[in-house]
Amino acid sequence: MARSLAVEDLAIVAPRREGALDVVHDVSFTLTAGRVLALVGASGSGKSATCLGMQDALPPGLRRTGGRVLVDRRAVPLAGLRGRTVATVLQNPRTAFNPILTMRRHGREVVEPAGRKGADADTAITEAFHEVGLADPAQVLDLYPFQMSGGMLQRAMIALALLADAPFLIADEPTTDLDLLSQGRILDLLEGLVVRRGIGVLLVTHDMSVVARLADDVAVMHRGRIVERNGVEGVFASARHAATRALLAAHHALYSGESMEASS
């Protein structure tokens, strides 16, 4: 299994009539097996564009103008990363599923290209759904996305990521749309995957409590550039850039608000 995935000098623009807007500027980072790199930054700083651009999966309106990806130090085509090498978990799981397919069909689309069919495929799919804690996998496999809660869909998306058996996972704001209880469960689940399977994770978030909980390393994005990097302790102990301090201030404001409520 691959041990490292390096993104080098990723550059993305939004072409506009009045001139191209730099959305991502010379962004470089490395994912390592068994570690979590948090990519943090305010809304609009270019985090999602980075996640999509590194897989050559940008939406209309954005264009990659530079960058390469090395897996175990060997340059690879970006468009071939998705699925086998990099699995993705998105903020809004509902948009990631085909509304007219059951979970079983979604699972089969992932495992059949790897040659697993019929009962063999169903066994793999059931195991993956079990691993993410979907209580009754046999029953869940016959559900359509509309029959499932956001938290269940987020787990199902992680199950599909597991089925792909990719060594790296990109999780773009995986807990932002979930209630607090589901957030905690998804974070526990991700942590378990890193420990048990040794996958390397790029965790995108604007929430420093998620960073504190899960990250080993942190890269801070501001207006399309990485402006600060550090180990997780270092970021909390001595943030250097104003963008980092702003994220920490939001985190501390929320935290002290909670403790005031608790003491009242």
If one asks whether residue 205 binds Mg ion (CB under 5 A), the answer comes out as: no
Q: Which is nearer to ligand ADP, 102 or 209 (CB)?
A: 209
Q: How far is the CB of 179 from Mg ion (least distance, A)?
A: 20
Nearest Cα neighbor of 199 from 166, 161, 163, 231 is: 166
Q: How far is the CB of 24 from ligand ADP (least distance, A)?
A: 7
Contact partner, 107, from ligand ADP, Mg ion, none, Cβ < 5-8 Å per class: none
User: Could you tell me how many residues of this chain bind Mg ion (CB under 5 A)?
Assistant: 2
Q: How far is the CB of 214 from ligand ADP (least distance, A)?
A: 18
If one asks whether residue 48 binds Mg ion (CB under 5 A), the answer comes out as: yes
Contact partner, 114, from ligand ADP, Mg ion, none, Cβ < 5-8 Å per class: none
Q: How far is the CB of 173 from Mg ion (least distance, A)?
A: 6
> Which positions lie near ligand ADP, rule CB under 6 A?
14, 23, 41, 43-49, 59, 61-62
Residue nearest to ligand ADP (CB): 61
Q: How far is the CB of 18 from ligand ADP (least distance, A)?
A: 13
Q: Which is nearer to ligand ADP, 49 or 162 (CB)?
A: 49
Give residues in contact with Mg ion (CB under 5 A).
47-48
